[in-house]
Amino acid sequence: MKIKILHHIFNRFYYIIILTIFNNINLNISKGDNTYPISYTISQVYNGGELIPVSIEKGKILNYFIKPNWANQTEFLTYWYNYPKNDAKTLSLGEMYCLANTLYGSKALIIGIDHKRIFVELLDTNFNNTLTSEIYNQWENTPILRAKWLEPINSYTIPFIINETLFIVQIQNDKLSVAKVGDNVIEAQTLKVPYIIDSTSYTFLYIERKEALGYLNFVNSFGAMKTSTRIPLNENVYIYTLKENVIVITSAETFNQSFLQIIDNQIGNIASGWIETNGDNVVSDNIGNDIIIYYLKNDDNKYYLVTDNLSKKNEKDSYKYINIPEGFIEPLCLRINQDNIFALFRNGLIIFDRFGEIQSADFYPFGELFKDKPNIKIIDDYLIFSSPSVSVVFEKKTHSLWFLNRFLNNTGKIVLPTILIIALLIFIQLYNNKNNLLKAVVDLPSSGAVYIIDRVGRLIIANKTGKNIIGITESIPLKRLFQYYCVLEETNELRALVERGLTTKETFTQKIGIIKDNNVTEWFCTIVPMRNITGRFKGLVLTCIDITEELERKRLSNWAQLAHDMQTNLSTIRLNAELLEAEKNSDNLDRKNKILHQVKILIQRIRDIVTVGRTDAAEKQENDAFQICQEVLAEFDSTMFPNVEFRLNAPHYHILCDRPKMVRAIRNTIENGIKALQGKDGIISLEFAYDTRNVYFKIKDNGIGMDEKTKAKMLTPYFTTTKNKGSSGIGTMIVQHVVELHGGEILINSEKGVGTEIILKLPNLSKNRPQK
């Protein structure tokens, strides 16, 4: 039958399906570059040299580009404004070879070499040699392996390194001077903010090699130095300067682990540890005052960006994994610039914000473009990657509908037509084959009794349980009025339910009794009206769930509570009886009265349990809150609890409640408080308070208290912390049940090692008048 229905549907709507799929195939689905908030596309590529850009003003970028002419071994310096390169001016550097270059304002600052003479030269945009200073050192027979500029210390001081020698250049009063700072320098870095150490302001630092170790030195603006910490050396050393700390990372080229040290500018090394990645794939920064480490990690051929908040190591979300999108391979390096984290892969670039959210993910052949790891700079809407062999300018694009593009790109091609087809099929099948769906539902074993009745009252469908209740056999046909089947007296309540549903045409629930196998069973019934798509009434669904077994379990729980309650009374009676027999003095009369009092309580409890067994509802009456509290405390004999001091603070105040149930609830709560004292001297206080909306029974102990985990589980059924001492958790269940019957709630205040306060909060339903 179902196959025929589906065949009919496809025959009728095949052209809609084909049209939808055809249109989807021809959709202009966006590619990966616009599935994130921003993307970058290649704007310009400058081969054979390093591009040095600087922002002159908004929308005006000055570019210096040094490119060697391999034909005559002469280098050329070119400058122009903005992109693409127009109106460029070029200068031949002659026999000078540029070792490193940077920008000083709008001028080019160059470390150059000419016939083994090394110098620093400042050139303006007209290529005028404005200032020059030779660098004097023992350069003979020493090849220049490294030359690089560091970040400026201030507007006139810039440090730089040649091989392993650190210098600073100062440009003041139309003079350029170079001073040597130190030798055997492994790495150096300018401080983001000056460090105040021993009342001295230090502006940059460097790591000096001494035998097999490195030493971190702080340098002030006058060249004075302070040695801080020893650093274990390796092939690669990276320095990140934060607000008050220095991060030093060392790693080997072939070893996929890095050693990290956090160095305080006052006290030295404060933390260290290993990171499972190469040092080129680690960066560090501050978010507020927190120290954050970012690094790329490969786990089972899947890449992640890991953010590790070193300042909040013990907090739950201090360590976070961010998935790298599929398709990116072989990370080259991780860089940080302004508020962005750049992850360069051999085949693309991913940009994160400082909280680890991906801002862009674009595929480019970086492994083919760059022989050296590039420097990164952001100016206006341009992202500039510069290296000695090639420089690339990317232009930023913003995508306001990136989330929609991602959906279409990732799932829309398949999901959209699939959803349309499935929705169409479901709609038609629900509308035209409703009976088949209903039959499948009503025959579920967990459905109880289910009846489907049309708008005039005819029984259309009944499952096996439903048929058994009203006595329908296989020989009796359906589709007759429901009352036709309800001929037995025990089905009168069921028939009345259907009649009410047909009259009101509304959803409602009701508990009824049905005689089944000569036993009265209790059922929870629900009537739900059926309506078509126009809202017109089409009939009823009647479901009945047998709750007899559940009610029996509740009654058994009441008996268990009776046994639980009687333990205290019987123990008191036994103890006083033993003392009464052993001693003959004036205290025996008091013990006799206590025994009679406990017997009276037991008799009252037996009456209570009989009453509770008949009904689960709260029989609320006006009661004096003071008398309720006094009655509870009278049950706790001082002979049984010599270590406990009971305190009562309650006014005479009328409340509306079921007194026996409230006495039991408060008593159980006090017993839990006594257990929390663990046999030690302690105080149990019972207090009553009220306001215009609620009344409060407050039970407080100074026992062991609870931690957050225990407090969260306290109201879980059968939960107890003293199971090894015979507790079952039933007492707390009864407390919760009684409070819920009164429409209230339980409030818990507890602190480990201090104590616990349980507040039974009930609605104030009385006339709110104090008892005189």
Per-residue model confidence as pLDDT tens digits over 265-274: 778 888 888 9
Percent with pLDDT over 70 in the chain:
80
Q: Tell me: the pLDDT tens digits for 192-245? A: 778 887 777 888 899 999 888 899 988 887 777 887 788 888 889 999 988 888
Say how far apart CA 208 and CA 248 lie, in whole Å.
Answer: 13
Average pLDDT score over residue span 114-120: 84
726: pLDDT strictly greater than 70: no
Residue 474's pLDDT band (boundaries 50, 70, 90)?
A: confident
544, 448 in Cβ contact below 8 A? yes
89: pLDDT strictly greater than 50: yes
More confident residue, 644 or 20: 644
Lowest mean pLDDT among 22-31, 458-467, 552-561, 754-763: 22-31
More confident residue, 712 or 652: 652
Residues 6 or more apart in contact with residue 176 via CB below 8 angstroms: 120, 122, 131, 132, 133, 169, 170
Burial 724-763 (b: 16+ CB within 10 A, else e): eeebebbbbbbbbbbbebbebebeeebeeeebbbbbbbbe
Strand partners, 393: 44, 384
Say how far apart CA 90 and CA 70 lie, in whole Å.
Answer: 16
Q: Tell me: the pLDDT tens digits for 343-367? A: 999 999 999 998 889 999 999 888 8
Q: Tell me: the pLDDT tens digits for 14-39? A: 444 444 444 444 333 334 467 889 99
Lowest mean pLDDT among 149-163, 414-428, 665-679: 414-428
More confident residue, 613 or 355: 355
- Sheet of 508-516: strand order equals 459-462, 449-454, 537-546, 519-531, 508-516
Q: State the pLDDT at residue 349.
A: 93
Would you state the structure tokens that stand for residue 533, as one six-digit string?
């798509």
Q: State the pLDDT at residue 612.
A: 45
Q: State the pLDDT at residue 585.
A: 63
pTM of the model as a whole: 0.51
444: pLDDT strictly greater than 60: no
Beta strands 129-134; 117-123: pairing state: antiparallel
More confident residue, 714 or 122: 122
Q: What count of other Cβ atoms lies within 10 Å of the Cβ of residue 89? A: 11
Say how far apart CA 601 and CA 637 lie, in whole Å.
Answer: 12
Instruction: Give me the helices (H) in 294-385, please.
Output: 366-369
Phi/psi at 338 (5° precision): 55, -120
Would you state the structure tokens that stand for residue 714, as one six-digit string?
């306290």
Q: What count of other Cβ atoms lies within 10 Å of the Cβ of residue 426? A: 11
Beta strands 157-162; 165-172: pairing state: antiparallel
If you average pLDDT over every residue of the chain, what do you get? Answer: 81
Average pLDDT score over residue span 135-143: 75
72: pLDDT strictly greater than 60: no
Would you state the structure tokens that stand for residue 658, as one six-digit string?
């079921």
Residue among 617, 613, 582 at smallest CA distance from 738: 617
Lowest mean pLDDT among 69-83, 85-99, 105-119, 350-364: 69-83
Q: State the pLDDT at residue 242.
A: 87
Residue among 380, 386, 344 at smallest CA distance from 365: 344
Q: State the pLDDT at residue 22.
A: 40
Residue 701's pLDDT band (boundaries 50, 70, 90)?
A: very high
More confident residue, 629 or 367: 629
684: pLDDT strictly greater than 90: yes
104: pLDDT strictly greater than 80: yes
More confident residue, 125 or 607: 125
Q: State the pLDDT at residue 645.
A: 92
Average pLDDT score over residue span 370-389: 89
Average pLDDT score over residue span 428-443: 58
178, 172 in Cβ contact below 8 A? no
Token pair 């019987």: residue: 570
